A = this chain, B = another copy of it.
Amino acid sequence: MGENEDGEIIEHHVNEEMEKRHLTRRAGSFSEGAKRHSSTQSSHRLLAYSDALISIIATVMILPVAHTKIQENEELKESLQQLLTTKIAVYLMTFLIVTVAWAAHIRLFQVIERIDDCLALLNLACMMLITFLPYTFSLMAAFPENILGILFFCGCVVVIGLIQAVIVLYGFSQPFLLNDQIQVSENLAFYKKHILKVILRVPVFCFVAIIFSLIFPPMAYVILAFVIFFPYISQSLKWCHSKAVGRQVETPESMLFYSYHPNEPLSKERVEAFSDGVYAIVATLLILDICEDNVPDPAEVQHKFNSSLVVALQEFGPEFLAYFGSFATVGLLWFVHHSLFMHVTKSTRLMGILNTFSLAFVGGLPLAYQLTHEFTRNSHNELEAIQISCVIIFFAGIFQLAIWVVALFSQRETLHPCVHYGGQDHAFMLAKLALYPAVALGTFFITCVLSEFSAPVFHLTQIVVPVAFLLLRLLVRVALAVLHWLFCPHRPTMLDLQGYDPALCP
């Protein structure tokens, strides 16, 4: 049976290939441009490189937060307040805006599927401006009354918008670069108009914001917030309108792209590439610092530590512990994400948003781990740092779980059958996704009660969780068997009924 299914999946691939070929031919027959024009290329690698750049930029603003020195005598709460006010806000805002820019980039290159040299160079120019955005936020945060930060920001966004418009115009002037569906559609002009309208909305609003920033700066911030949330507002208004009038306003088929509907498809490949980038940067953030700062000074070792390098390195013990702890946690969260997206067949915009929230918390993890080892044993600060770590892990995990829950609502389209309700791997996937939130919540409450054992408990979880992941399949089967034996001992087990067949799963 498994083999059969395998065969079917591949058959499907073959059909897809044939369909593509058919489309290519159809497209080729009417687009004479392809003949005349320079060599076109698949955009796959350009997008992978863009994803790598954007994921670095999205996480970069955690560095100033992580490098804020916390004094030992100061209470953690006070320094946290100082952090919270500006640096963390800048980090979160950068993460939000950069992921919005990334989503716009995905939309654009879902329409333009093939590139040539000219588009590749335009995209690089666009990337250069996107990587400059975090700096404008730092300026805005450091000088809230000065309009220079917002001017820089709006200027960048206007130019990015214009470059994107040029990319669209260029793409539509040479239709063989476009998505196959658009390429063969009748109303190419309608598409072009709709997409240009959506893209140019942002630079126009930003231009208005520039004008307002010269007259009445607060209004400029309001306009910028409006630009970001405009698609969501208009979607909600449409939804309310459809409820009030009573009939469903269906998104027409022609609006497949740039519809801003929560079910709008979001290239799964790019969500994975972006997440991989963020997880990789975050996992290595601490080793970057360690390599630069924690190599002891030869002169100091000679005088202070009596030439004993081992003793000198023991000073840095907490940093190493923090590194291995955060690498393991980020690595395992990546592992959960990887397992989840292995079973996702189509990702939607809503799932993308939840993924962004999860990643934003993951970005804070190295910082939290560094804090847990920076304070004296059993101090109040240490307890709070450990609890903050638990909270961050909890939210990073719970948003991953939320992606799956959202996907389950339209499971036929978005999930592989074996993790559907009643699917053979449903319980296993739930266990994988729930393990980290459950452990984090448990650790949080245990440290509340047994505050003097908080550090040992925290370290214990760091050792137990990887082992739990290794044995998870076994544990889930035992748990299911026990539940079955407790509640309905006379019926055959779920597993027997389904004829457990892992070959069905990807």
Interface residues of A (CB under 8 A from B): 2-3, 6-7, 10-11, 13-14, 17-18, 20-21, 24-25, 28, 34-42, 45-46, 48-49, 52-53, 56-57, 60-61, 63-64, 67, 117-118, 120-121, 124, 127-128, 131-132, 134-135, 138-139, 142-143, 146, 148, 272-273, 276-277, 279-281, 283-284, 287-288, 290-292, 294-298, 301, 309-310, 313, 324, 327-328, 331-332, 334-335, 338-339, 341-342, 418, 425, 466, 469-470, 472-473, 501-503, 505-506
Q: Is the CB of A298 within 8 A of B339?
A: no
How far apart sit A295 and B310, CA to CA, in the bound complex (Å)?
A: 38
Known: A41-B342, A56-B281. A64 touches B291 (CB 8 A): yes
Q: Is the CB of A139 within 8 A of B331?
A: no
A49, A279, A501 — most chain B CB neighbours (10 Å): A49
A3, A131, A309 — most chain B CB neighbours (10 Å): A131
CB of A197, distance to nearest CB on chain B (Å):
28
Q: Is the CB of B502 within 8 A of A48?
A: no
How far apart sit A36 and B495, CA to CA, in the bound complex (Å)?
A: 13
Q: Which of B60, B327, B338 contacts A287 (CB 8 A)?
A: B60
- Nearest residue (CB) in B for A39 is B505
Residues of B within 8 A of A34 (CB): 2, 502-503
How far apart sit A324 and B125, CA to CA, in the bound complex (Å)?
A: 10
How far apart sit A331 and B120, CA to CA, in the bound complex (Å)?
A: 10
- Nearest residue (CB) in B for A501 is B35
- Nearest residue (CB) in B for A34 is B503
Q: Is the CB of B291 within 8 A of A61?
A: yes
Q: Is the CB of A52 within 8 A of B131?
A: no
Q: State how many copies of this chain the complex holds.
A: 2
Residues of B within 8 A of A339 (CB): 117
Residues of B within 8 A of A148 (CB): 309-310, 313
Residues of B within 8 A of A276 (CB): 45, 48-49, 52
Known: A53-B280, A117-B472, A506-B39. A287 touches B45 (CB 8 A): no
Residues of B within 8 A of A14 (CB): 14, 17-18
Known: A52-B277, A131-B284, A298-B142. A17 touches B7 (CB 8 A): no
Residues of B within 8 A of A502 (CB): 34-40
A-B contacts, 6 of them at CB < 8 A, read A2-B35, A6-B25, A49-B276, A67-B292, A117-B469, A131-B283
Known: A52-B276, A118-B470, A425-B39. A142 touches B17 (CB 8 A): no
CB of A326, distance to nearest CB on chain B (Å):
11
How far apart sit A472 and B35, CA to CA, in the bound complex (Å)?
A: 19
CB of A226, distance to nearest CB on chain B (Å):
26
Q: Which of B20, B25, B281, B309 contacts A143 (CB 8 A)?
A: B309
Known: A142-B296, A148-B313. A288 touches B17 (CB 8 A): no
How far apart sit A470 and B124, CA to CA, in the bound complex (Å)?
A: 12
Q: Is the CB of B327 within 8 A of A121?
A: no
A39, A118, A338 — most chain B CB neighbours (10 Å): A39
Known: A143-B309, A288-B60. A48 touches B273 (CB 8 A): yes
Residues of B within 8 A of A273 (CB): 48
Q: Is the CB of B39 within 8 A of A24?
A: no
Residues of B within 8 A of A40 (CB): 502
Known: A60-B291, A67-B292, A124-B332. A146 touches B309 (CB 8 A): yes
Q: Is the CB of A35 within 8 A of B331?
A: no
Residues of B within 8 A of A505 (CB): 39
Q: Is the CB of A128 within 8 A of B324?
A: yes
Residues of B within 8 A of A301 (CB): 143
- Nearest residue (CB) in B for A469 is B121
CB of A154, distance to nearest CB on chain B (Å):
16
CB of A426, distance to nearest CB on chain B (Å):
13
Q: Is the CB of B53 within 8 A of A284?
A: yes
7 extra interface residue pairs, beta carbon distance < 8 Å, beyond A35-B502, A49-B280: A3-B28, A10-B20, A38-B473, A49-B338, A124-B335, A134-B291, A142-B297
Q: Is the CB of A331 within 8 A of B52?
A: no
Known: A14-B17, A60-B291, A134-B287. A338 touches B45 (CB 8 A): yes
How far apart sit A11 and B202, CA to CA, in the bound complex (Å)?
A: 43
How far apart sit A7 and B24, CA to CA, in the bound complex (Å)?
A: 9
A36, A40, A60 — most chain B CB neighbours (10 Å): A60
